[in-house]
């Protein structure tokens, strides 16, 4: 089996965010020094990066599951958790990344990076959640889970010239004769199982040539090496048809080979116009008996089809210099036709004035309502539902965002099932801000407050001194406290 993989499916998981911590500062003479819980660290991202030393997707074929480290949780003393390191996956140039049939990126150029899965955000500690009304939060936010993506990586060779033709036409021999590449060469079909790249210099022009697996009729439907062959000619600027002048197979001749080739290229993808790139025909193996006579018979027919014909011999080197300069001319013309590179423009799309960031829709599953939006769903993931104060904080956030007003407008009534993310709860409307007077709200405890910080039950110095003396005085000599009649003299 050839150690070359050009299409794999990878299952990547970004790191989870670390949880925030709920902590209260404690030291001598400061039993309640205020909240000091640190934030959790963000989870690591899964990043694809183009590396010049990588030429195949073989590593992901053997290890399709990749995961980035999680973020560390926070700690007391305002110590934040460490961020998880990114998992950088090295891929070859020309890798196309798609998820669910949608192309996310075409990685061209060494160093190009693409974040395939983003790590989860770390949760806030109670120190970050404290404010003037909530002085000592007894809860912290949970870290968000990282993204999990099943992506398809597809490698398409990056070459200026692509050699196409039937098996054993001499494509690998041509690459070996014109460059320093050493592809495998043998006299049997499908010797070439992987694309072979060679670098060629003709005059002042340097270009790359790709030898791809051989073509047979029906390749566009997957026969033979089929799509593996056609995938690697999409990026080639010039396609060269290598014709075997020494074939002994019945029913084959140079013109029928070209007709079959053009049919497969057209059936593969008409929008790419691969047939339009097929402008040169190389008649290989003219050194064999009767090879030159056959060239004279087919040259006029091929030129009438608009092809430039070059009789060559990859073994003796005959006709290779002329072919090299012709290919350099075509490559240079293609490069000149390309538009000048432009800097990437960043487009900022402001949010619409009436966009609240969420929507409320009827939920047929529960006969209730479902709230859809990035913020509400993220807040639900961050909430520890085992902590009543954290649930109250979530209710406050949703109310401030306008979720309750939107539910009431949509027709929701108390007791309806409301679904946000993966959580479903019964709706109990809170008191809208401003509906009660100052006197009415004086007796209501603010959500998230801590009565321990509002009351001071610590004894004074004179009280501690009196208690100390009382402990050291024998029981019989203790004076009665208050007006206890049992201590009166009889």
Q: Most distant CA pair in the chain: distance in Å?
A: 148
The verdict on whether residue 314 carries a ligand-binding annotation is yes
The verdict on whether residue 229 carries a ligand-binding annotation is no
The verdict on whether residue 239 carries a ligand-binding annotation is no
The verdict on whether residue 211 carries a ligand-binding annotation is yes
The verdict on whether residue 287 carries a ligand-binding annotation is yes
Do 23 and 35 contact (CB within 8 A), yes or no? yes
Nearest to 395 by CA among 418, 413, 361, 363: 418
The verdict on whether residue 191 carries a ligand-binding annotation is yes
The verdict on whether residue 205 carries a ligand-binding annotation is no
The verdict on whether residue 182 carries a ligand-binding annotation is no
The verdict on whether residue 165 carries a ligand-binding annotation is yes
The verdict on whether residue 76 carries a ligand-binding annotation is no
Do 399 and 375 contact (CB within 8 A), yes or no? no
* DSSP run (H or E) holding 405: helix 403-410
Residues contacting 58, CB < 8 A, separation 6+: 3, 4, 5
Nearest to 181 by CA among 190, 171, 168, 189: 171
The verdict on whether residue 171 carries a ligand-binding annotation is yes
For CA atoms 315, 319, 322, 327, the dihedral sign is negative
The verdict on whether residue 289 carries a ligand-binding annotation is no
The span from the CA of 230 to the CA of 268, in Å, is 7
The span from the CA of 461 to the CA of 444, in Å, is 34
The span from the CA of 440 to the CA of 456, in Å, is 25
The verdict on whether residue 286 carries a ligand-binding annotation is yes
The verdict on whether residue 156 carries a ligand-binding annotation is no
The verdict on whether residue 301 carries a ligand-binding annotation is no
The verdict on whether residue 193 carries a ligand-binding annotation is yes
The verdict on whether residue 170 carries a ligand-binding annotation is yes
Report helix, strand and coil shares of the chain as percent, to nearest 5. Answer: 25, 20, 50
Give me the residue label for tokens 């998820």: 99
The verdict on whether residue 294 carries a ligand-binding annotation is no
Nearest to 283 by CA among 303, 308, 312, 307: 312
End-to-end Cα, the chain, rounded Å: 112
Residue 298 tokens, joined: 């087919």
Task: Please provide residue 179's backbone torsions phi and psi, each rounded to the nearest 5 degrees.
Answer: -140, -175
The verdict on whether residue 75 carries a ligand-binding annotation is no
The verdict on whether residue 175 carries a ligand-binding annotation is no
The verdict on whether residue 321 carries a ligand-binding annotation is no
The verdict on whether residue 302 carries a ligand-binding annotation is no
Show the CA angle centred on residue 315, arms to residues 314 and 317, nearest 5°. Answer: 65
Q: Which residues are annotated as a binding site for GTP?
A: 165-172, 190-194, 211-214, 284-287, 313-315
Q: Which residues are annotated as a binding site?
A: 165-172, 190-194, 211-214, 284-287, 313-315
Q: Which residues are annotated as a binding site for Mg(2+)?
A: 172, 192
């Amino acid at each position: 089996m050839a150690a070359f993989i050009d299409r794999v499916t990878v299952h990547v998981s970004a790191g989870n965010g670390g949880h925030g911590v709920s902590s209260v500062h404690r030291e001598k003479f400061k039993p309640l020094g205020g909240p000091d819980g640190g934030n959790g660290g963000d989870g690591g991202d899964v990043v694809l990066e183009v590396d010049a030393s990588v030429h195949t997707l073989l590593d992901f074929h053997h290890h399709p599951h990749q995961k980035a480290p999680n973020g560390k949780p926070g700690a007391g003393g305002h110590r934040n958790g460490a961020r998880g390191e990114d998992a950088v996956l090295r891929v070859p140039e020309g890798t196309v990344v798609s998820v669910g049939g949608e192309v996310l990126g075409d990685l061209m150029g060494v160093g190009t990076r693409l974040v395939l899965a983003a790590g989860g955000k770390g949760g806030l500690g109670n120190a970050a959640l404290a404010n003037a009304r909530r002085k000592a939060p007894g809860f912290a936010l949970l870290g968000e889970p990282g993204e999990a993506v099943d992506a398809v990586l597809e490698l398409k060779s990056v070459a200026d010239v692509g050699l196409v033709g039937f098996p054993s036409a001499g494509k690998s021999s041509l690459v070996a004769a014109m460059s320093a590449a050493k592809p495998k060469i043998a006299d049997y079909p499908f010797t070439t199982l992987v694309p072979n790249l060679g670098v060629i210099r003709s005059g002042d022009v340097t270009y790359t040539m790709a030898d791809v697996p051989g073509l047979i009729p029906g390749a566009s439907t997957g026969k033979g090496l089929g799509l593996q062959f056609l995938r690697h000619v999409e990026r080639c600027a010039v396609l060269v048809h290598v014709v075997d002048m020494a074939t002994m197979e019945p029913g084959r001749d140079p013109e029928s080979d070209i007709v079959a080739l053009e049919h497969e290229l057209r059936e593969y993808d008409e929008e790419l116009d691969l047939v339009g790139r097929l402008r040169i025909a190389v008649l290989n193996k003219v050194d064999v008996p009767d090879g030159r006579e056959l060239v004279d018979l087919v040259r006029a027919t091929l030129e009438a089809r608009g092809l430039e014909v070059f009789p060559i011999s990859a073994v003796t080197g005959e006709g290779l210099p002329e072919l090299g300069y012709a290919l350099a001319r075509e490559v240079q013309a293609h490069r000149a036709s390309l538009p000048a590179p432009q800097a990437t423009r960043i487009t900022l799309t402001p949010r619409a004035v009436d966009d609240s960031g969420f929507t409320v829709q009827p939920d047929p599953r529960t006969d209730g309502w479902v709230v859809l939006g990035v913020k509400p769903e993220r807040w639900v993931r961050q909430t520890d539902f085992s902590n009543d104060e954290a649930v109250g904080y979530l209710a406050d956030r949703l109310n401030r965002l306008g979720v309750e007003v939107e539910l009431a407008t949509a027709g929701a009534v108390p007791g309806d099932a409301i679904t946000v993310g993966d959580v479903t709860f019964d709706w109990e409307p809170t008191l809208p801000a401003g509906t009660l007077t100052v006197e009415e709200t004086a007796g209501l405890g603010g959500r998230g407050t801590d009565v321990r910080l509002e009351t001071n039950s610590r004894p004074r110095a004179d009280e501690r001194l009196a208690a100390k003396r009382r402990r050291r005085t024998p029981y019989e000599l203790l004076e009665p406290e208050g007006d206890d009649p049992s201590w009166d003299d009889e």
